[in-house]
Amino acid sequence: MPFFPSRCHGLKVQFVPIVDGMGKSQETARQTKFTPLEDIARMVTEQDREYMRQAIAIMRDAGVVNKTGGPFGVVIVKDGEVIGAAGNSVIKDNDPSAHAEVNAIRQACQTVGTWNLAGAVMYSSCECCPMCYATSYWARIDKIYYAAGWSDFEDLFDDSNISKDLTKPYPERLLAPEQILQEEAQVVWEEFRQLPDGARY
């Protein structure tokens, strides 16, 4: 049976058939561990903590001192060098997407000259919201460390509500996504598919 790689650190998932008590074949997920979770915890170094302290300092600067946005700060490191460091600037920039993670990713991509941040580690002062996690995922960041969790600031920024909303069927979501003109959009996708030099990322 084929393996399907997981973005979860240290895990691969293989779907294997099993036979239940009624003689019916079922699919079950078998996880193959490469690095035990307890070993991952031991891999956190003092240097990791120092990068996180830098992120927390940026967090305070953004939210308490300069008030550019909420108290969120991020440092991105690759090959031992800081390639991006930014705070939240939603208020300053009038941009609801200007979260610390997104700002730092944009800066890091400019620093290294590519959208692909494979091999980079993100140190975020706070647990990523769904948008920032998705942006980090698309940027191919290898690992995220965070300090404050959603429960630490849910009275002010309740990111868990967005996470819960995303698990609902479209009609039940707050913004109720609804599909229209699919056929016309498919024409463009087919056109793009034929391009020998079309963007892939």
Distance CA 28, CA 16 (A): 6
Catalytic residue, chosen from 101, 154, 183, 190, is: 101
Q: Are the C-beta atoms of 129 and 135 separated by less than 8 Å?
A: no
| Cα atoms found within 13 Å of the Cα of residue 143, Cβ hemisphere only | 14
Q: Is 101 a catalytic residue?
A: yes
87 Cβ contact partners less than 8 Å away, ≥ 6 residues apart? 58, 59, 61, 62, 63, 66, 68, 69, 72, 73, 74, 100, 103
Distinct helix (H) and strand (E) counts, the chain? 7, 7
Estimate to the nearest angstrom the gap between the alpha carbon of 23 and the chain centroid: 41
Token readout for 64 is 């308490």
Strand partners for 124? 74, 146
Strand partners for 87? 73
Active site residues: 101
